[in-house]
Amino acid sequence: MSSIDIGIDLGTANTIITVGGKGIVINEPSVVAYDKKKKSVLAVGEEAYRMLGRTPEYIVAMKPLADGVISDNVMAEAMVSEFIHKVSGSMLLKPRIIICVPSSVTDVETRAVVEAALSAGARKVFIIEEPIAALLGAGIDISKPNGYMVVDIGGGTADVAVVSFNGIVKSQSVKVAGNKLDEAIIRYVSQKYKLLIGEKTAENIKKTITNVYNPTGLKKMQVKGRHLLRGLPVTMEITDLDAAEAVAENVMEIIDNIKSVLEVTPPELIGDIHENGIILTGGGALLGGLDKAIAQETRVKCYVAENALECVARGVEKAFSLSEELLDGFEKISLYRYK
Ligand SMILES: Nc1ncnc2c1ncn2[C@@H]1O[C@H](COP(=O)(O)OP(=O)(O)OP(=O)(O)O)[C@@H](O)[C@H]1O
Ligand SMILES: [Mg+2]
């Protein structure tokens, strides 16, 4: 009997778990609900998400990863071990686990996650860096001396990295991604229309009508909120022009980050990137017109990877099969930081 491999993409917004041979088995919000009286985890994922903002005092329902960093070690550990228990419940042998953590997570925080996986019964835990996983998941062969640029835009961070020969050559991350865009939409709508909308409504506007490349004003959406002056619930119409203006500054920040990585990338690799194009992954990559806006600003072609939301998780899953050939000198090639 062989042991099972569990891959975890521990994202700010979503945690995706793969189990060897079965593919993705969990894709749920990174939320944990904890019972302070019993000192135990009540729920994780979807179930805990529904409890956000709706719990009595002795229960905490929270997102332990904020802005792409672990804001609460104890809760993050509790969430990770509960997720692992969920998928490994009936496994007889201890699993090998690869975890992908956001790139801005510190070593100490990473340790906490590794400890959580070990105490949840892992035989061996590896950490994989997000850009490496994203490229593997996008189906790119990163084992050759050929440069690729990947931009992973999640909920908390937009990570830009240049990868060649299995390793990260240059990388930089900004804490401007999906969540910040939602906040910008909330601010814009409240300032322009005196309408207070919730986070979920803002996210919906972002996903449904936003186009940051060529908004026409023709795409419209009815949104519900509370009128800030009158205090009553109202419905108003928002256009794609509003949405584009709302997120413009944040989008520029993401593009500036890409430009600044391009500026410090060695010339040979710049040539490769021109040839290969910039690859976008993560949920934020799906923002309407973002690929075109990036291509226009950087003058490098740019495309969204297939299944952008799942790239990192698919890459983590693939990394298990590469572990044999990559096992020697793992530390050096930055694929796995822990053995
Ligand atoms: N169609 C869409 N258009 C714009 N944004 C989208 C779309 N679909 C999902 N998103 C956004 O993508 C983000 C989630 O992406 P993803 O699951 O890649 O993040 P994550 O991996 O949890 O975060 P991180 O990598 O920063 O830790 C959310 O902010 C969500 O609103
Ligand atoms: Mg991610």
pLDDT tens across 302-316, in order? 999 999 999 999 999
pLDDT band of residue 321 (cuts 50, 70, 90) is confident
CA distances from 204 to 42, 139, 199, 210, 211 (A): 28, 29, 9, 9, 13
* Whether 104 contacts 157, CB under 8 Å: yes
261 CA → ligand 2 middle, Å: 19
Residue 67 has pLDDT above 50, yes or no: yes
200 CA → ligand 2 middle, Å: 19
pLDDT tens across 168-211, in order? 899 999 999 999 999 999 999 999 999 999 988 999 999 999 99
Higher pLDDT, 66 or 216: 216
Vertex 88: Cα angle to 319 and 123 (nearest 5): 60
pLDDT band of residue 333 (cuts 50, 70, 90) is very low
pLDDT band of residue 2 (cuts 50, 70, 90) is low
Q: What residues are in contact with ligand 1 under a 6 Å CB criterion? A: 11-14, 68, 102, 154-157, 177-179, 203, 206-207, 282-284, 286-287, 309
Amino acid at 270: I
Give the residue from 119, 114, 36 showing the smallest Cα distance to 85: 119
CATH of 138-175+254-309, one of 3.40.309.10, 2.60.40.10, 3.40.30.10, 3.30.420.40: 3.30.420.40
Alpha carbons 9 and 137: distance in angstroms, whole number: 12
For a substitution probing ligand 1, which of 9, 10, 12, 27 has the most ligand atoms within 8 Å of its CB?
12
Give the residue from 113, 114, 143 showing the smallest Cα distance to 318: 143
The residue whose CA has the least distance to atom 8 of ligand 1 is 283
pLDDT value of position 167: 85
Amino acid at 119: S
Ligand nearest to the CA of 157: 1
Higher pLDDT, 59 or 320: 59
At residue 129, the 3 state secondary structure works out as: strand
Give the residue from 199, 122, 193, 110 showing the smallest Cα distance to 155: 199
Q: Which of 42-46, 107-111, 149-153, 190-194 has the lowest mean pLDDT?
A: 107-111
154 CA → ligand 1 middle, Å: 4
308 CA → ligand 2 middle, Å: 10
231 CA → ligand 1 middle, Å: 31
Same fold yes or no, 5-30+66-133+312-333 and 138-175+254-309: yes
The residue whose CA has the least distance to atom 19 of ligand 1 is 154
Residue 322 has pLDDT above 90, yes or no: no
CATH of domain 178-246: 3.90.640.10
Higher pLDDT, 140 or 92: 140
pLDDT value of position 332: 37
Residue 329 has pLDDT above 80, yes or no: no
What percent of the chain has a predicted confidence (pLDDT) above 70?
A: 94
* Whether 295 contacts 301, CB under 8 Å: yes
Token reading at 310: 């799942």
Residue 339 has pLDDT above 70, yes or no: no
The residue whose CA has the least distance to atom 12 of ligand 1 is 283
Q: Of ligand 1's atoms, which has the minimum distance to the CA of residue 157?
A: 26
pLDDT value of position 337: 58
Q: Of ligand 1's atoms, which has the minimum distance to the CA of residue 179?
A: 29
Token reading at 107: 């070593």
164 CA → ligand 1 middle, Å: 25
Ligand nearest to the CA of 154: 1
**Domain residue ranges in the chain:** 5-30+66-133+312-333, 138-175+254-309, 178-246
5-30+66-133+312-333: in CATH 3.30.420.40: yes
Alpha carbons 182 and 308: distance in angstroms, whole number: 19
Vertex 74: Cα angle to 69 and 80 (nearest 5): 75
pLDDT value of position 106: 81
pLDDT value of position 324: 62
Token reading at 46: 């979807």
Vertex 67: Cα angle to 51 and 260 (nearest 5): 155
Token reading at 152: 């992973």
> Where do the H-state alpha helices sit in the chain?
46-49, 73-88, 107-119, 130-137, 178-193, 199-208, 240-263, 267-276, 290-298, 311-326, 330-333
